Amino acid sequence: MTSLIQVEQLYRFFAGHCAVNNVSFTLERGEILGFLGPNGAGKTTTMQMICGNLAPTEGQIFINGIDILDCPKEAKRELGYLPEVPPVYRDLTTDEFLQYCASLHRLPRSKITKAVDNAKDRCGLTEVGKRLIGNLSKGYQQRVGIAQAILHMPAVIILDEPTVGLDPIQIREIRELIRELGKEHGIILSTHILPEIQEVCTRVQIIHQGQIVLNDSIEGLERNMRALSILIRTQGTPDLARLYALKGILSIDELGENRYRIFHDKESNPAYAIAETAVSLGWGMLELVPEKRSMEEIFIEITRHSPQTEGE
């Protein structure tokens, strides 16, 4: 089966500076890929090359099997794009704007009405078709921006910061819309809102100093989020020597009021042994919680050092 996006050994140089360094990845139908990177990491440059707005110095990009360098018009027909600021005309109604966008996508005149109605239905815009876009809330304007990106039923949808500036209710609605779209399309979601990746995406990719430094499923990411520590709270005072004797225990921090943070090695998970020991010795186990690292902590850890430094 052909990948919806296939990026092979992508490079981009600016005046001798390598902004994108040997980047390769794929996107399959039904995937929502969260694309992350600190400022200056090469994320925007990579996105511009995928969209055909910037030519790579080296490498190939296939959109639904079409080489974007050899056949740019055909490849771009397979793309729908929502920039960070939705490209909407505030003095047009929703219907007028979407009909205009359908013409830009060169949809046959006989199919425009159906395509507009379908996009409005999928994006929850049916009731605001006759309203001026300038009079809509920002959340609805964002929906209009997504609607224009899917009018022509592209294989791939690229969304750049789709929930920035929205209120919590609007954010939840847009995220639900993205999840629904992800069932039929392949989606690349560029965002700085790290919890959004966990909420919406099926896979995450982090770029740093022009190189992909993480490419994993959300399930794999959540496994990486498991910290190597366990918090416990007991009714009585535990015998720390008995805890240190358990396999894999590295150190124990006393937090006061019979609370302890127990650090262990990667190869072991001593939670069961800790609980068993506490019960058998009558310590009165009140709490045992494996700690998790936040996605922010993982992101900072991964991007703190350059790939070049790590490889030296």
CATH classification of the domain holding 2: 3.40.50.300
* pLDDT the model gives residue 312: 33
Bridge partners (DSSP) listed for residue 187 = 32, 157
- Domain with 58 in it: 1-78+154-225
Q: How many CA atoms lie within 13 A of 141 on its CB side?
A: 21
Within this chain, do residues 231 and 257 fall inside the same structural domain, yes or no? Answer: yes
Dump pLDDT digits (tens) for 151-210: 999 999 999 989 888 889 888 999 999 999 999 899 999 988 888 898 899 999 999 999
Dump pLDDT digits (tens) for 224-240: 766 688 999 999 999 99
- What is the mean predicted confidence (pLDDT) over 43-59? 93
Within this chain, do residues 50 and 187 fall inside the same structural domain, yes or no? Answer: yes
Sheet holding 211-217, edge to edge: 79-82, 156-160, 186-190, 32-36, 203-208, 211-217
- What is the mean predicted confidence (pLDDT) over 243-257? 93
Within this chain, do residues 135 and 263 fall inside the same structural domain, yes or no? Answer: no
- What is the mean predicted confidence (pLDDT) over 102-123? 94
- Read off the pTM: 0.79
Within this chain, do residues 214 and 248 fall inside the same structural domain, yes or no? Answer: no
Dump pLDDT digits (tens) for 53-79: 999 999 999 999 999 999 999 999 999
Within this chain, do residues 163 and 72 fall inside the same structural domain, yes or no? Answer: yes
Number of domains in the chain: 3
Within this chain, do residues 17 and 161 fall inside the same structural domain, yes or no? Answer: yes
Check if the beta carbon of residue 89 is closer than 8 Å to that of residue 133: yes
CATH number at residue 287: 3.30.70.100
Whether the per-residue pLDDT at 124 is higher than 60: the answer is yes
Q: Across the chain, what does the average pLDDT equal?
A: 90
Within this chain, do residues 217 and 173 fall inside the same structural domain, yes or no? Answer: yes
Whether the per-residue pLDDT at 269 is higher than 60: the answer is yes
Whether the per-residue pLDDT at 309 is higher than 60: the answer is no
